[in-house]
Chain A
Amino acid sequence: LAKTTQPISMDSYEGQEVNITCSHNNIATNDYITWYQQFPSQGPRFIIQGYKTKVTNEVASLFIPADRKSSTLSLPRVSLSDTAVYYCLVERGGSQGNLIFGKGTKLSVKP
C-alpha cells in the first residue's frame, strides 16, 4: 500500500477554512483515499473517502488531482471542536480491514 505523508501539526483559528494536504506518490489504480478524525481517548471516526476529483459531504471536502499522487482535506469554518488528529490513509479496494495509519496531522483550533 502507498505510504502517506502529511504535516505533523497545523494551527488555525475559529471560522477559518483549513486545508490539510497528504501525499501518496505510489498510489495504485484500485486504491481509495480516506480520511479519519480522532479525538483523544476515542476511536477514529471516518470523515470522507474519494477516488478522484472532488468529493463533498456535510463535514468536509476532499480534492484529488488527476494524477492522484496527493489529496487535500478541506474543513470549512473550523471550530474549537475540530481540534483533533486527522489521518490520511490509502485503502486498497476490497481491503481486508487492515487500515495503515501514519502519524496523522494534529490540528489545533484556537479562539
Chain B
Amino acid sequence: KAGVTQTPRYLIKTRGQQVTLSCSPISGHRSVSWYQQTPGQGLQFLFEYFSETQRNKGNFPGRFSGRQFSNSRSEMNVSTLELGDSALYLCASSFASGSPKNSYEQYFGPGTRLTVT
C-alpha cells in the first residue's frame, strides 16, 4: 500500500510570493491534516479536511488555506509568504470518520521543506 506522498519535497520562495503544496493520502483515507514544523514552535496543527470539507482549523492566519478534492487529495496554499513561514510542512492522512468511540492513527508524509528568502 503506497504511503502518503507530498510534492514538492523542497521549495524555495521569496517573501511576498505565494505557494501551493500538494498531498496525496493513502488510498481509502478520507481525512487529511496539515501541520507546520519549525525548530522554535515544534509541530503545529494547521487544518483538517474530511470529504472535501474543512472540519477543524488551527491557530494560523488567513494566509494559510487549503482544500480537498473528491479523490481526497489535498492542497495547502500560503499567500504573501513571510520569512517565518520557512518550515517543514507535513501532511497526514487517516481513516478517521469522526466516530467518538474511536481514534485512528495518522500516517504522515515525508513533508515539504519550504524556505522563504
Given the known interface contacts A49-B105, A97-B92, the answer about A43 and B100 at a Cβ–Cβ threshold of 8 Å is no
Query: Is there contact, CB below 8 Å, between A94 and B31?
Result: no
Residues A68-109 near B (CB distance < 8 A): 87, 91-104
Which of B12-20, B75-83, B109-117 lies at the binding interface? B109-117
Chain A residues with CB below 8 A from B26, complex form: none
Taken together as a complex, chains A and B put the C-alpha atoms of A98 and B91 apart, in Å, by: 12
Q: Are A101 and B42 in contact (CB under 8 A)?
A: yes
Min CB–CB distance B84 → chain A (angstroms): 19
Q: For chains A and B in complex, what number of residue pairs have CB atoms within 8 angstroms?
A: 85
Please state if B58 and A96 are interface contacts (CB–CB under 8 Å). Answer: no
Cβ B56 vs Cβ A97 within 8 A: yes
Interface size on B, residues (CB 8 A): 35
Would you give the shortest CB distance from B34 to chain A, in whole angstroms? 9
Q: Distance (Å) between the CB of B43 and the closest chain A CB? A: 4
With A97-B48, A98-B45 as given contacts, are A30 and B100 in contact (CB-CB < 8 Å)?
Answer: yes
- Return the CB mask of B39-72 against A: 1 if under 8 Å, else 0: 0001111001010000110100000000000000
A6 in the interface (beta carbon within 8 A): no
**Chain B residues, CB < 8 A from A99:** 33, 35, 43, 45, 92, 106
A30 vs B103: C-alpha distance when bound (angstroms): 9
Q: Tell yes or no: A45 within 8 A of B by CB.
A: yes
Which of A42, A46, A96, A101 contacts B96 (CB under 8 A)?
A96
Give the complex CA separation of A33 and B36 in angstroms. Answer: 22
* Cβ of A59 to closest chain B Cβ, rounded Å: 13
Q: List 7 A-B contacts (CB under 8 A).
A: A43-B92, A43-B108, A45-B108, A96-B98, A100-B45, A101-B42, A101-B43
